[in-house]
Structure 1
Amino acid sequence: GPPGPGGLLDGVIDLVPARSAVGAGLRRARDMLDYGDAATVAAVLGCGRRTTAHDTVPFALWSAARSLGDYERAFWTTAQVGGDVDTTCAIVGGVIAAGKAGVPPAEWADRVEPLPGWVRTSV
């Protein structure tokens, strides 16, 4: 089956150089999975204000891991802390879309302009 929150972060940690700033941030994110306050986690990990990978990726993956079954919650958790919101939400969306909750709420899809050549499939 799909990985849980810890398994997701462990899998990514295994792929990132251990001595990198991103690797260190991901290990901190793994240690903070039981924290419920996104603002506290963002204060520790960063949330993209410095627009660097190590200031963006750990928080985005923490947020995605905490909300693997809930697309909408993942976005609100990520966006509420500010920072580089378009980047962190894009990362979260990519991670969540790879799992079972990969379809955005129908209400969201209904509120956007259709892209040329895009056909909405049923959700």
Structure 2
Amino acid sequence: MWGVPRSELLGRQTQATTEYFYDEDGLLVRSETTWEPRWLPEDVSWAQAWRRWVAGKCPGCGLQLADTTAMRDGEPVHSYHVPDPARCYGCDELLKDDKERAKKPTVRPEALLRHVEQVT
């Protein structure tokens, strides 16, 4: 699930230490390279906190359930407001195009790759 640790996203580069082993004549026999762990304890803590935050979201509104379900003295602790929706005119054009395409026979319309281009 996790590809890159947080510390790497912030620029940390993992460090390597190489130890060389020589025989009694001074010839190199082998070397061992040890890398520091890619995931630091702090990275694991951030990942766990993020998973808890995602798990605590309401599937409906996306806010944290700990806040939206909090009660004090039988009353909700917080109040909420739903502002007027904004319209995405790009999506609006896609929906208009859907209606036009529904009037014409199209073979496998779900295979069409569509995008929206801004004209002005």
Normalising TM by the smaller chain, what interval? under 0.3
Structure holding more strand per residue: 2
Structure holding more helix per residue: 1
Normalising by the residue count of structure 1, what TM-score does the alignment of the two structures yield?
0.22
Larger Rg: 2
Say which structure, 1 or 2, has more relative contact order (CA 8 Å, 6+ apart). Answer: 1
Normalising by the residue count of structure 2, what TM-score does the alignment of the two structures yield?
0.22
